């Protein structure tokens, strides 16, 4: 699955793409929708290279690209990437190769494409695609066990967890891009000792560190997607913060699951890292021999050998006091997507086993990604053990759940010997007071 675009020795004529700590070396080349900040320009597709954005609307007229790659770039001259996503894996790969060759050090395309670069400091983003449907999974067994233990100490995992990639259909209209500011949600709240619920702002606002998965080419209604073909239908991954009102959730979630506790805001990072870019960071997927093994449609040698992704996931909290003092955000946790109990391919295969039709731009949430250790927890609900233990931040402030003005910052990256480090950028969003 590796090809010349993954060569760790490749460098770019864009100097900032060659620094050791960049998220966006030439081996990455993620996609976003952008325009110059504060302008009335049309939003259009771009590719990150170092600290620059290659404007694909401008690049299509440069004369550098031809054939399938040019057709793909023309599809990016739009306010959403759905058309590109629907073109399929072979087209995405052809475009990636053409971009890699054009942006490499020594490329004849430098003079023409240098005029198509815009500093990332000078742009603003919107959602990378029109998200038609959104499904949130629950793939971290460590998160599921920790949360289940808070409510069912003797039986934290429900009987189906180890058999089914559990998920629910969420709401896509309230998903927004990094920088999102949203009001603290209101809803019904019921204290354990109260006779009746009341309506008011939630008091136990939480984040969830997730990976977002964008569907590329879909399937027809009634058709299934086989496990070993599943990732041919996945365009790429992003960072995803699935905000959660835990007190609203505790009252409403039985018997049908999340509703108002989840649909008020969710935030994605602007850059979509393609699955092809992540090829060097694939890793094996295993299932404890004492656990039930997957049913046939969720099992294959390929999935066992390369089904997981080694993506480090960090969460930070910036309080209003930190912001006013110019202090850095406080580190909360560091986990890894490789701990997921189910793989991306298994999510796709299970989602379509009943004939459900996926479409370009559909999004999956991975569910909160927590690791086996307590400091790898992907939510405050876990880190504070249900609000019973407060966290002390770097500046001495404490938190059990989020307060008005708090900003959650999530970052993700892949790094190992023998491969070029690639990153996802960040997703940041802020809660403000309810009306």
Catalytically annotated residues: 143
Tell me the C-alpha distance between 278 and 408, whole Å. Answer: 25
In SS3 terms, 156-223 reads as CCCCCCCCCCCEEECCCCCEEECCCEEECCEEEECCCCCCCCEEEECCCEECCEEEEEEECCCCCCCC
Tell me the C-alpha distance between 383 and 374, whole Å. Answer: 7
> CB count, 10 Å around CB of 429?
23
Phi, psi of 301 (to 5 degrees): -65, -40
Strand order in the sheet with 422-432: 181-183, 422-432, 407-414, 312-318, 330-336
In terms of C-beta density within 10 A (0-12 exposed, 13-18 middle, 19 or more buried), how is residue 286 classed? Answer: exposed
Q: Which residues touch 170 (CB under 8 Å, ≥6 apart)? A: 134, 135, 136, 242, 258, 262, 263, 266, 365
Q: Which helix (H) or strand (E) holds 99?
A: helix 89-103
Phi, psi of 245 (to 5 degrees): -95, 95
CB of 367 within 8 A of CB of 138? yes
Strand 422-432 and strand 181-183: the pairing is parallel
Q: Is 36 helix (H, G, I), strand (E, B) or coil?
A: strand
CB of 292 within 8 A of CB of 163? yes
Tell me the C-alpha distance between 266 and 244, whole Å. Answer: 9
């Amino acid at each position: 699955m590796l090809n010349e675009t993954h060569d760790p020795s490749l460098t770019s004529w864009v100097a900032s793409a060659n620094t050791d700590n960049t998220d966006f070396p030439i081996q990455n080349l993620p996609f976003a929708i952008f325009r110059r900040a504060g302008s009335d320009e049309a939003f259009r597709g771009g590719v990150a290279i170092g600290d620059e954005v290659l404007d694909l609307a401008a690049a299509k007229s440069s004369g550098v690209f031809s054939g399938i790659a040019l057709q793909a770039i023309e599809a990016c001259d739009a306010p959403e990437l759905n058309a590109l996503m629907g073109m399929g894996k072979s087209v995405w790969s052809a475009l990636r190769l053409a971009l890699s060759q054009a942006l490499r050090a020594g490329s004849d395309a430098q003079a023409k494409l240098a005029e198509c670069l815009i500093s990332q400091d000078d742009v603003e983003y919107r959602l990378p695609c029109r998200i038609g449907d959104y499904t949130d999974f629950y793939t971290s067994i460590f998160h599921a066990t920790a949360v289940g233990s808070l409510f069912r100490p003797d039986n934290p995992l429900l009987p189906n967890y180890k058999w089914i990639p559990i998920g629910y259909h969420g709401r896509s209209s309230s998903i927004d891009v990094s920088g999102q500011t949203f009001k603290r949600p209101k809803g019904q709240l019921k204290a354990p000792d109260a006779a009746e619920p009341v309506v008011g702002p939630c008091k136990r606002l939480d984040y969830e560190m997730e990976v977002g998965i964008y569907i590329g080419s879909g399937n027809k209604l009634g058709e299934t997607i086989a496990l070993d073909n599943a990732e041919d239908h996945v365009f790429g991954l992003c960072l995803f913060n699935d905000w959660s009102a835990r007190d609203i959730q505790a009252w409403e979630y039985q018997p049908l699951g999340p509703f108002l506790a989840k649909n008020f805001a969710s935030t994605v990072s602007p850059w979509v890292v393609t699955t092809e870019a992540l090829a060097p960071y694939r890793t094996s997927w295993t299932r404890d021999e004492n656990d039930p093994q997957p049913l046939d449609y969720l099992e294959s040698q390929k999935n066992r050998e390369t089904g997981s992704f080694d993506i480090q996931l960090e969460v930070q909290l910036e309080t209003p006091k930190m912001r006013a003092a110019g202090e850095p955000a406080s580190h909360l946790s560091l986990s890894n997507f490789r701990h997921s109990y189910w793989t991306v391919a298994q999510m796709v295969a299970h989602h379509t086993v009943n004939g459900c039709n996926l479409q370009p731009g559909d999004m999956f949430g991975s569910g909160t990604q927590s690791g086996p250790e307590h400091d790898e927890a992907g939510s405050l609900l876990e880190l504070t053990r249900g609000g019973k233990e407060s966290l002390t931040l770097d500046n001495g402030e404490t938190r059990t759940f989020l307060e008005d003005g708090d900003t959650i910052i999530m970052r993700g990256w892949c790094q190992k010997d023998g491969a070029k480090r690639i990153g996802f950028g960040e997703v940041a969003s802020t809660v403000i007071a309810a009306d």
